[in-house]
Chains A and B, each alone.
Chain A
Amino acid sequence: MTIMYMPKIEISDELYQKIQEKIKNLPEYKSADEYVAKILEKELKEKDKEVYSQEEEKKIKERLKGLGYLD
């Protein structure tokens, strides 16, 4: 038998009510859980992009040289 562990995150009642109000006008979200998960996913994806690979750095440096910004 596999036991699934579902993590739970606590938020205040006030914030939970605000989310409930918000998703009333957002039919794509079926629950507050789904909305919060989506927002966090988006935020983390954005943060991931702040880190860049050496390949990307090399590529942009070459382009910026070509455009005259770097020697």
Chain B
Amino acid sequence: MKKSNVTVIVPIHELTEGTKPLFDVAVQSIAQQTLMPDEVLIVTPSKSETSTYLKGYDFGTVKSIVRVVENEGETDFCAQFNLGVSEAKTEFVSLLEYDDEYAKIWFKNAAKYMEAYPEVDIFLPIIADVDGNGQFIGTTNEAVWAYRFSDEMGFLDSNSLLAYQNFNIDGMVIRKSLFDEFGGFKSAIKLTFIYEFLLRMVHNDAKVMTIPRFGYKHVNMREGSLFHTYSQEMDPVESKWWLDKAKKEFYFTKQRAITYEK
């Protein structure tokens, strides 16, 4: 069977009774792809209830390509994903949040665009954002196709990203070597680590393109999710502080210790 040269990485800190059904859907969204990823790495804290649950989980038709990676170190979202990247053996990796789902056309399109645009390092999907009840809220990542949004239609660049922050890396298909060259996710940055990561990539001339297709469905601000927690705990002043921090930290490949100062 033709493969996509992509490893899917699913970082999971903890599966609860409430999120297990969402995880089922996420796994199903991999199974229904018309072009399959080479491998699926589910990264989870070692010797946890979640890792035990995953070892006994019925992955169905994707069982042969799933590997559960037990994380002995830091188990925050960023560290889990970075570990997954380091374990991947393919040229590209992709991020799937365990409560989200890929559109079934995603890897077929990723492969098509990888072939048509071999110079591109990161392919973002158009993300359909839904609320906790599955109601459609809006879309993300499509703005690069708007007339004169960026220097080159369809591509993200530093200037447009500095002016407009609303991009999301969920579902992205990214060249693994970028992590070695320019570093991975920085867990020291709260709230805006995705933004900082993208800024760092475009600053280092990585080519970032949005594939103009719905490739991913993202549950926005699910109760208990990382960003929901941020929204509950952070006031607007702190949010702004992290945004400004991201705009300064992207010059550094490796993460530095950062403490929020009021």
A, B in one complex: no
